[in-house]
Amino acid sequence: MGLIKCFLFVLIFLASTYVGIIISSKYKNRVIDLKELKTVLNIMNTKIRYTYEPIGEICEEISQMNDTNVGKLFGQVNLELKDKNITEAWNIAIDTYGNNFSKEDKHIIKTLGKMLGKTDINGQVSEIEQANEFLNIQINKAEKERQKNEKLYKSLGMVIGIAIIIILV
């Protein structure tokens, strides 16, 4: 009976630690996705400025060369463009693949989607550059939140597991 009890305690501790790690990974994933989005927007900016490709083709190229969450986001935009306008497609893709983004991040990114394909090349380029500036601010905020909260949730998961074990003993 004691062996089963020890096994259950180890299982409780591992499960609570795992939950803490999962929660803390959201902060790390947000930073990664924001940095990736910034990189992809720079690629998009260059393609709009110099190749004059349509937004759908640019999104398709980005999704094919990028197997991250952001690449999937652009793939979703491309799929949605078949029967929706760019703003609707962009918003659906953000809602579908923007799980790691905060509400503020999503608002900034969705604002960019309102202007894509609706202005001339210079207008689109300036909107992307403006979104990049906002993303820089968001990346800094996300990095600070990650530093503050990542270790906290990992430790909290372990402490809660130990507290549950103590209560059960």
pLDDT at position 49: 83
Q: What predicted TM-score, i.e. pTM, was given to this entire model?
A: 0.83
The answer to whether 28 and 150 are in contact (CB under 8 A) is yes
pLDDT at position 168: 84
- The position carrying tokens 């905020």 is 141
pLDDT tens-place string over residues 8-33? 888 999 999 999 999 989 999 999 99
Cα dihedral 91, 58, 73, 20 in deg (nearest 10): -130
Domain limits of the chain? Answer: 27-144
pLDDT at position 126: 84
**Sorting pLDDT into bands at 50, 70 and 90, what band is 121?**
confident
